[in-house]
Chains A and B, each alone.
Chain A
Amino acid sequence: MFAASAASRDSEFTEFVESATSSLGRTAYLLTGDRELAADLVQEALVRTYVAWRRVRRGEALGYARRTLVNLNIDRWRRRPAVPAESVDGVAESGESSVDDRDQVVRALAALPAQQRRVIVLRYLDDLTEAGVAEHLGISVGAVKSACSRGLAAMRRAAVLTEEESVR
């Protein structure tokens, strides 16, 4: 009987993995700017979600996994300095000719302070409300608004600078 229950639980979790991996992967990629690191983060977040699967309410599993992923990334940033914008996943090595719009966005994100980057990604990639972002990050809605405003301004500045450089 227990085996049947465990099989059912594993089946549910497998379905969740198949539906959530892509979304979590994209969030992790924009948070880290690093493909391999993003994959590691998603795997660890999903393993922790599996461990907690019984108490993860259906319909909230993606939120739980995403919160865990963001927390794992925060821990990572506490342990080591931020990745310099120039070394984001090989973008710098590729030279100016291969820097397309997508790289530009990833690079501009990587240059943001960590908190602003987390807020921007959760708010505009994952389409969370300001309250949802606040709940994910354990900060106030006011802090989310502030980080959003500063992050947006920085992203705009970064985009302008890049355009000017490419004209020269």
Chain B
Amino acid sequence: MTDVEQNLRSELHIAAAEYELELDADRLLEAGRSARRTRSAHRMVLGLILALAISLTGVVAAPRIVAAILEKQTVEFTEAFSWNGTRAEFDQFTARLVDEDGVNRLTVTAYRDQKEVAAVTQELPGTGASRFRLGSRTVVAVFPGEVASLDIVSDASHGTQLSWASAFDRTIAIGMFFEPVKAPEGLDWLWLDGAGTLRHADDAPVPSATITLNGVAHLVYRNDRTDELGLWQWSRFSLKDYAETDLLHGGMSRQSDSGSVSWQDGVLPVGAHDVQVTVSRPDGAWGSAVLPDGTVVVLATVPVETDTIITGFSYLRADGTRVSHGR
């Protein structure tokens, strides 16, 4: 540390020392208990709202969650899958999580036509994630925390129904797949924790960063295990055979009641800096970020449905050479 840094360090400590905060631990505990109860209930209510909203669209008959907190030590919720009922092994689940002196036991019971057809009980590890299969196409996953949002990121995710609920600072997710799942531990699940960190199922952080465009924050990430670039909860694609000029082509669009939007994301070589991007419309926006693993990500958006989002871009390589593409 240089003299200047040492000096700043001293000044910061002196400036901060005048601020002495005292909190009432009992009130904080009560607030924490209340937050824990509220968040568990919120997840379940949110699941109901989402299920209803999706059902009304007619796109897919979504899982329905019926949840109830039975007593302090036990949380139970039921998943009823009405989608594709003729092929599904199960059309309803009950997941019962019991906390006994800090040891969590999870019992998942599966039903078909209101008859119990399978059940499994597992003692959950003290920390970390666990996954197990029920039948051939259903996977139960337990995450070590309260999940803010969750996604399965593997080819097996096609035709998946996924629901989850939280209790005892764990989240239980049930996913039902079109195709048989041979190894549930091979599925890559990503989840966003309450502190805003994107994580793999086993809790390891995923390199990610936030890019804010037109006041909207977008979480971009690179899945180091599948080598995919993702825009959380929106899109992802494989970086295998990726070329940086792909930024000039394609992109994705989405229509909604509030209008259309198209976006394009891509990566530049490690060390790229002084990135400049030209978008196809004056009301478009772009941004870039360097992920913790060094990946340089570019994200651009325009408020119309189009295949041309980025018309040109340039950057400086690590060695200082300017690279330019497009207009």
Spell out A's residues near B (CB within 8 Å): 1-2, 4-5, 10, 13-14, 17-18, 21-22, 24-30, 35, 38-39, 42-43, 46-48, 50-55, 57, 64, 67-68, 71, 74-75, 78, 101-103, 105-106, 109, 120-121, 124-125, 127, 134-135, 138-140, 142-143, 152, 155-156
Contact = CB atoms under 8 A, between A and B. Distances in A.
Contacts of A125: 9, 12-13, 16
A14 B29 CA distance: 8
Nearest to A156: B4
B43 to A, nearest CB: 12
Nearest to A29: B19
B12 A51 contact: no
Nearest to B22: A21
A26 B17 contact: yes
A50 B35 contact: yes
B11 interface: yes
A51 B194 contact: yes
Contact of A139 (B127, B145, B168, B292): B292
Interface of B: 4-5, 8-9, 11-23, 25, 28-29, 31-33, 35-36, 39, 72-73, 99-102, 127, 144-146, 168-170, 193-197, 203, 205, 208-210, 212, 215, 217, 289-294
20 contacts: A13-B32, A17-B23, A29-B21, A39-B23, A51-B32, A55-B127, A55-B203, A67-B195, A68-B194, A78-B217, A103-B15, A106-B15, A121-B12, A125-B16, A127-B9, A134-B292, A140-B293, A143-B290, A152-B5, A152-B8
Contacts of A52: 145-146, 169, 193-195
B29 to A, nearest CB: 6
Contacts of A57: 127
Contacts of B29: 10, 13-14, 50
Given A13-B29, A17-B28, A102-B14, A55 B145 contact: yes
B9 A124 contact: yes
A102 B18 contact: yes
Closest 4 A-B residue pairs measured CB to CB?
A50-B32, A25-B21, A26-B16, A1-B101
A25 B31 contact: no
B195 A139 contact: no
A26 B19 contact: yes
A156 B208 CA distance: 32
A141 to B, nearest CB: 8
B267 to A, nearest CB: 14
Nearest to B193: A52
Contacts of A24: 21
Most chain B CB neighbours (cut-off 10 Å) among A13, A138, A140? A138
Contact of A101 (B5, B14, B28, B35): B14
Contacts of B99: 2, 5
A13 B26 CA distance: 10
Given A124-B9, A135-B292, A48 B15 contact: no
B21 A54 contact: no
Contact of B15 (A68, A102, A134, A140): A102
Given A5-B101, A68-B194, A139-B292, A50 B8 contact: no
A47 B292 contact: no
B127 A1 contact: no
A127 B170 CA distance: 32
B15 A30 contact: yes
A75 B219 CA distance: 13
Contacts of B16: 26-27, 29-30, 125
B319 to A, nearest CB: 15
B21 A38 contact: yes
A31 to B, nearest CB: 10
